[in-house]
Amino acid sequence: MIRSDEQRVADILEFADKLERYVLKGYDEFCSEFGTGLAVERLLELIGEATSHLSDEYKQSIPEIPWKEIAGMRTLLAHAYHRIDFAIVWTTATTSVPELARYIRAK
């Protein structure tokens, strides 16, 4: 089943909202609680996967978003687990994803 840009955007916003609930627990919880860390990583993967399937037209309509970097983070999390920098994952979850959601909601 092919999903529309609108459906993928809705997915991204849903994942961003869920991610916010995990990061509200704080960095210490993220680092020490295995399940919290995995949930944050997985939600970032899902966001990256959804963005990689958006149409070029949609992506070009918000050029401020670093689309390739988002997809690259997804690839890193999914395939290069041994190279994950948890400080970068945390910054992405707490800063980059909320910024992404703001841009998308403003469109």
Q: Count CB neighbours of 28 within 10 A.
A: 9
- DSSP classification of residue 31: H
Residues with Cβ within 8 Å of residue 68, at least 6 apart in sequence:
none
Catalytic positions, written as ranges: 74, 79
